[in-house]
Amino acid sequence: MGFQARWRELKKAGWTTKRPTGVSVDFTYLKPGKTKKDVRGVDFFVGEIELMAYLDEVDLGMCACLVRLRLLLTLCCVQLSLQRQNQRKRSNLQHAPPRRRSRQPKRQVSRKRSLR
């Protein structure tokens, strides 16, 4: 995304600019509620390059954070699914009729008598 498109988004979020002073040709870009007296590179940025570098860093951090969040949500969904399956199994076992033992006739062992 180009600088102008990103700046439009930042402006909507409350960021402001200060015109260059003295010999400088770079604008100063300020986060909402911050001044030039705050920390450079954190609260304000001098020049488009410095601001874009910060935004790229934030985007990369956000991407990594989103990947971790997606993994966490996937694990939670799997765990929830397994819990529901276990609940269904328990519920089915509680409502199932008791098992009957099959009555099979006992096998009789025949003894052969020896004739002697």
Residue 97: pLDDT over 70? no
- The conformation of residue 33, written as its DSSP 8-state character, comes to T
Q: Per the domain annotation, does 65 fall within a domain?
A: yes
**Using CA atoms, how far apart are residues 45 and 26, in angstroms rounded to an integer?**
10
Q: Per the domain annotation, does 106 fall within a domain?
A: no
Q: Per the domain annotation, does 19 fall within a domain?
A: yes
> How many domains are contained in the chain?
1
Q: Per the domain annotation, does 22 fall within a domain?
A: yes
pTM for the complete prediction? 0.52
Domain that holds residue 19: 3-94
Q: Are 35 and 57 in contact (CB under 8 A)?
A: no
**Using CA atoms, how far apart are residues 49 and 22, in angstroms rounded to an integer?**
19
Residue 55: pLDDT over 80? yes
Between 94 and 73, whose confidence is greater? 73
Confidence of residue 115 (pLDDT cuts 50, 70, 90): low
Report the share of the chain in percent with pLDDT over 70: 76
Q: Per the domain annotation, does 105 fall within a domain?
A: no
Q: Per the domain annotation, does 104 fall within a domain?
A: no
- Of the listed ranges 20-34, 55-69, 99-113, the least confidently predicted one is 99-113
SS3 66: helix
Between 76 and 104, whose confidence is greater? 76
